[in-house]
Amino acid sequence: MIGISARLSPEKNHVQLVDAVALLRGMGIRARALMIGDGDLRKAIETRARELKVEHHVVITGFQQDVRPYIGICDAMVLCSHTEAFSLAAIEAMAMGKPFVHSDVGGAAEMIRPGENGFLFPVGNTRALVDRLARLANPTQRKRMGSRARARVEEMFSETKMLDRYEQLLVDLCAVRPEAAEVVFR
């Protein structure tokens, strides 16, 4: 089960995941997609799934207030975005121990260490996406990478780590401009 948690909009490129599921199934991998969210492209996604005869293997949940139960049933998570700043959906899924496959945009390379806790793939390259997802068909590799995904979030993106970095940034700023220390620490 490959999950994607994002609004169904053009920049998120859900149709590419439908194409990937069809190719994976053609390779004998029993891939399914769980699309957590809703949006303007729902009909286009459903139409593409029917065209490729994978409509029974692509499920769209609609908007969900709490995505955690849905992420929990997935084996891996993906974002096929054409553009992305820094995906909180990726951080959330990685925190839940899910390996993540992400198009190489925005801050993806800060989160994902290819082959360790997930994979990156070139934007729009469905063959590369399929290759990365096929590697995650191996349960042992998936579990190992999921554990490392969780560790990466704890190491780099936990509340404590982020607060420590903000504090250090403020200290550094004050060292550069001593007059700023009076404003910050008043």
- Tokens for 4? 């994607």
Task: Retrieve residue 141's tokens.
Answer: 């590799």
- Residue 177: predicted pLDDT: 59
Which residues constitute the domain of residue 56?
2-157
Per the structure, the count of domains in the chain is 1
Tokens of 24: 């994976």
Average pLDDT over residues 93-102: 97
Question: Per the domain annotation, does 166 fall within a domain?
Answer: no
Residue 151 placed within a domain? yes
In this predicted model, what pLDDT tens digit does every residue of 126-166 receive, in sequence order? 999 999 999 999 999 999 999 999 999 998 887 787 788 77
Q: What separation in angstroms does the CA of 118 have from each of 19, 81, 90, 141, 164? A: 20, 16, 10, 10, 26
Please write the tens of the pLDDT for every residue from 35-77. Answer: 999 999 999 999 999 999 999 999 999 999 999 999 999 999 9
Q: Please state, in angstroms and rounded to a whole number, the distance separating the CA atoms of residues 86 and 4.
A: 15
